[in-house]
Amino acid sequence: MAQEIELKLALTHSGLGRTAILERLADIAELDGTTPRRRWLANTYFDTPEHALERAKMALRLRRSGEDADTTGPLRQTLKTSGESHGGLHSRGEWEWALPDGQTDLDLDGLRGLPPLQALEEGPREHLLGALAPTFSTDFERHAWQLELTVTQDGQTAGVGVEMALDLGHVKAAGRETHIREIELELTGGDDLSAEQREGVLWALAESLASRLALRPADASKARRGAALRDGEWHEKTLDTTDTNALLAAAIDALDAHADRQQQDDMRWHDHALAAFSALASRLAASQHPGHVHAVALTEALSESREQGTSDSWMTAAFGQHSLSLLAALRSRGQ
């Protein structure tokens, strides 16, 4: 099993096309001298009619990839399990393997032998495996950069591998669809360094990206977005005003929902994010936390958007920069 540590960033400027995005990315120092690999990824997600995998916070997919939508190779099967998520930074379990040439359906035997399935009693496990069926799909173009970034530890310079992926495409379910416009940063090396140092590399790269693109931290995986699209609803996170991390998670989640549900829900999720950031700003002010200034800036941006009667005027580079600075402040103070 691989332990996946990644940071997800949603692009908020919907009017920026692929070419313009790539041009802006080319100006970032960390990407200097690198060329991205372009691939087309077609994914089908599976679950039971009762959404057993989703309830267990697991995602099962078959993926076909190729140079474009018409030239794809063999299928790969992946099971992901939920881990920890803090302000867009995710740590998850992941098992992935290639299927034999010509196989077009799930490898149930391979799935059956994985630890999450072995943890079930035989009866429930076989019932689950027999009930799996396609539930939604994601199709997108990926530009991937393999980066070797550096970090200094005790006067010594060490390398940290990072895969950066720009995904542009669609999630489709139940006759509905929504856009995929995101960047994922995943650690692929530097295991001899501390978790703080390795994660710091991701945050530093994210800040460089935010200097060129309007973006924000995101928590919702493609699988979660597909499930919400399938069900036609997004489940709201409760605002726990005693927990700064919970408030931040609620705000990020609400902005994820706003991106996918604005047409159906108007300003509902925008206002939920505003309430979460406002409560967070008040709590940080009470403790004289240095992140307070960034929480206030985010609250003011959403408030001005509400006053203007627009749902997207807050989607600026400054919003993304304040979001990342707030996350960095919370991490550094152990909040």
Model confidence band, residue 4 (pLDDT cutoffs 50, 70, 90)? low
What confidence tier does 69 reach under pLDDT thresholds 50, 70, 90? low
Phi first, then psi, for residue 11 (nearest 5°) are -80, 130
pLDDT of residue 19: 95
pLDDT of residue 89 exceeding 80, the answer is: no
Record the tokens describing residue 235, joined without a space.
Answer: 């489940």
Rg (alpha carbons) of the chain, rounded to whole number: 20
CA–CA separation, 122 and 153 (whole Å): 49
Q: How many helices (H) and strands (E) does the chain have?
A: 11, 9
Could you tell me the end-to-end alpha-carbon distance of the chain, in angstroms, rounded to an integer? 30
Q: For 250-290, how does the pLDDT look when each residue is reduced to its tens digit (9 = 90+)? A: 999 999 999 998 878 889 999 999 999 999 999 999 999 99
Contact (Cβ atoms closer than 8 angstroms) between residue 241 and residue 247: yes
pLDDT tens digits, one per residue of 25-64: 999 999 999 999 999 999 999 999 999 999 888 999 999 9
Contact 10, 182 (CB under 8 A): yes
* pLDDT average, residue stretch 144-173: 89
Residue 184 pLDDT level (bands cut at 50, 70, 90): very high
Q: What is the pLDDT at residue 252?
A: 95
The arithmetic mean of pLDDT across residues 153-178, rounded, is 89
pLDDT (0 to 100) of residue 335: 52
Residue 209 has pLDDT above 80, yes or no: yes
User: Strand 2-11 relative to strand 215-217: parallel, antiparallel, unpaired?
Assistant: antiparallel
Average pLDDT value for the chain: 89
8 Å CB contact between 142 and 165: yes
Element holding 263 (H helix, E strand): helix 244-265
Q: Is beta strand 176-187 parallel, antiparallel or unpaired with respect to 37-47?
A: unpaired
